[in-house]
Amino acid sequence: MKQTGQGRLAIRGVIGTLVIALVVLACMNINRLPIIGNNDIVHVEFAEAGNLKGGDAVMVSGATVGRVREVRLEKDKVVADIVLNDKDLVLGTETEAAIVTMTLLGRAAIQLTPRGEGRVEAGDTIPVTRTSAPYSLTSTLNQLTDTSAAINKEQLAAALAQTSASFEGTADDIGPALNGIRRLADTLTSNDAELTSLLDRADRVTGVLASRDKQIGTLLGSGHSLLAELNARQDVVVDLLRSTRALSRELQGLVSDNRETVPAALTQLDKVITLLNDNRDELQASIVGLRGYATAFGEAISSGPWFDAYIQNLTSPGTLAPVLSGLVP
């Protein structure tokens, strides 16, 4: 009986040890346990690891909302499994992710930027097209060391010597050039307000031009139509100019052929005009008198099928003399 009691105690000890071990393992991996564990795992693909490790923080707007469970390499991409602890967090289907550096020593974290509608569910993947990864400072420095070690020191020294020799003859010119650059910088700095105003006005002009885009397009189209019409009428315009030139030559010939006749005609015309001006009062009186005679003559004509007319002094020699003098050669 004693042996049986000791065997039972041994069995109980083994079972108790196993239970304690299982409890310890469960506490260490509580997030992996079903029901009570956090199974909201989202896969995030990156082009580079960016010094990201398991246990790093997952943040949204600077607040920690989860942890990185695992980082692994799949083909040409790095996949980070992240666990989200905030049940109320809603990530849209266009959510973006970026690896950010948290400390000077290179501690990394994943920064999530919620975008889009819908919701990222457990098991979903944020593809590499919506993620970004920075360069790792440590790996970059290591690469710099390797690159520096591969530099040909002799060629670098020769290049620096050649550069120094090239600048030896231009020492007097470099100083004024640098002074000119400094003065230009000072001028730009002192006119900062004016440059800002100029850029602001240029922006307003651009805005006006953009708002009048249709009108400007219509104006350019009308100008194009006008030029096309002028081009189509080019032959007509050329013929018109040719005809105008021919008319000018004819007028020049007419003036040249009648150079002696025209002055005499103009002289006679001037005399006639002078005579008319001298007898302007008599002409006006004749017209006034003719109006009364014409009225009476019209009444006489309309009085019957025949009429009598009498012109006073028509047969007087003094009246007929100008008429006869014009008829007799």
Nearest to 46 by CA among 99, 83, 84, 91: 99
Integer-rounded Cα radius of gyration of the chain: 57
Cβ atoms 44, 79 nearer than 8 A: yes
Distance CA 326, CA 329 (A): 7
Cα-based angle 148, 150, 154 (whole degrees, multiple of 5): 90
Going residue by residue through the chain (329 aa), what tens digit of pLDDT does each one get? Answer: 445 666 677 777 778 788 887 777 766 665 555 444 545 788 999 988 878 888 889 989 888 888 999 999 888 888 999 988 877 788 888 999 998 887 766 788 998 999 888 888 888 889 988 998 776 555 566 677 777 777 777 787 778 777 777 766 666 667 677 777 878 777 877 777 888 888 888 888 887 877 887 888 788 888 888 888 877 778 887 888 888 888 888 888 877 777 777 777 878 888 888 888 888 888 788 787 777 777 777 776 666 666 666 666 656 656 555 555 555 55
pLDDT at 203: 82
